[in-house]
Amino acid sequence: MAYILPRAFIVLIGWAITCGLILNMSPRVAPMAFYVAGASWLFGGIVCFGYLRKLRREAQNQHGRF
């Protein structure tokens, strides 16, 4: 849980900022725009933090070999 919570908070902040920018551009926006923004942030967060976790594991494995 300690690994997921900070990353979820980062993704949530990014989504909130994106939604704020969408709302500032046009006050009458369909709710689907917010759903798409949230889904894209969720997908991007999973890919980015999954890749970082993979790199960390590989670095630890390389360090253990020497």
- In SS3 terms, the chain reads as CCCHHHHHHHHHHHHHHHHHHHHHHCCCCCHHHHHHHHHHHHHHHHHHHHHHHHHHHHHHHHHHHC
Residue 63 lies in a domain: yes
Number of domains in the chain: 1
Total residue count of the chain as it appears in this document: 66
Q: State residue 66's pLDDT score.
A: 58
What domain range is 59 assigned to? 31-66
pLDDT band at 41 (very low <50, low <70, confident <90, very high): very high
Tell me whether residue 21 is in a domain. no
Q: How far apart are CA 50 and CA 11, in angstroms?
A: 13
Residue 20 lies in a domain: no
Q: What is the pTM of this model?
A: 0.75
Q: Tokens representing 13?
A: 């902040």
Residue 2 has pLDDT above 70, yes or no: no
Task: Let me know: does 22 contact 37? Beta carbons within 8 Å.
Answer: yes
